[in-house]
A and B are shown apart, each in its own frame.
Chain A
Amino acid sequence: AQSVTQLDSQVPVFEEAPVELRCNYSSSVSVYLFWYVQYPNQGLQLLLKYLSGSTLVKGINGFEAEFNKSQTSFHLRKPSVHISDTAEYFCAVRNTNDYKLSFGAGTTVTVRA
């Protein structure tokens, strides 16, 4: 079974500054990787996904993530954040031969002016 670790539970950041959210996973087989965002009292919205191919993946709202197989990481980045990026972010991993999606504990990003 796979596990997912989000290394930071809370990340405060100033508006227009860059942000990086770290995600590491463990799995004995190949995986698919996802980042989701959750705004207060709402469901999860898909930001981006890595299935295969280029290790740099671009998503919605200016986010991107890089898959590093040797370090089993899938870190999320945005070069310049907005107040509206304040939300909780979840990294999720699925083995390529399984329906089960495993989630990290989440990282709360708070953007301040």
Chain B
Amino acid sequence: DGGITQSPKYLFRKEGQNVTLSCEQNLNHDAMYWYRQDPGQGLRLIYYSQIVNDFQKGDIAEGYSVSREKKESFPLTVTSAQKNPTAFYLCASSYRDYNQPQHFGDGTRLSIL
């Protein structure tokens, strides 16, 4: 079945450590997105990519980095510069047309040890 796979489902980070969240899709979508979800705040856009080797900052990009070397993959690195990384992270993808809905993975929950 086509879909979006996020791994791991749970992740723990020590102070000063970088961690990378994986997102892979086999829907043949061009565009991919990373969101952060905190209780009562909805989803906030971290980064998005419309095409391979290109990506743009979203509303809360500070302390995060991404790469888009393959169409299927859009990994997110949470760096030590992100002072409050505990959150639920969601990856999404869509076709490039503006009227196309985004499809979501099942998320990664990141916690600080």
Contact = CB atoms under 8 A, between A and B. Distances in A.
Contacts, number: 55
Contact of B104 (A43, A49, A99): A43
A44 B90 contact: yes
Interface in B40-87: 40-45, 48, 50, 58
Interface in B19-57: 31, 33, 40-45, 48, 50
Contacts of A34: 101
A55 interface: no
Contacts of B103: 46
B101 A97 contact: no
Interface in A42-95: 42-46, 49, 51, 90, 94-95
Interface of A: 4, 9, 32, 34, 36, 41-46, 49, 51, 90, 94-101, 103-106
Given A44-B90, A100-B48, A105-B42, 7 more contacts: A34-B101, A41-B106, A41-B107, A42-B107, A43-B105, A96-B99, A101-B45
Interface of B: 4, 6, 31, 33, 40-45, 48, 50, 58, 90, 92, 98-99, 101-107, 109
B81 to A, nearest CB: 24
A32 B99 contact: yes
B42 A44 contact: no
B109 A99 contact: no
Nearest to B106: A43
Nearest to B105: A43
Contact of B40 (A36, A97, A103, A106): A106
A101 B43 CA distance: 9
B42 A103 contact: yes
Contacts of A32: 98-99
Nearest to A108: B40
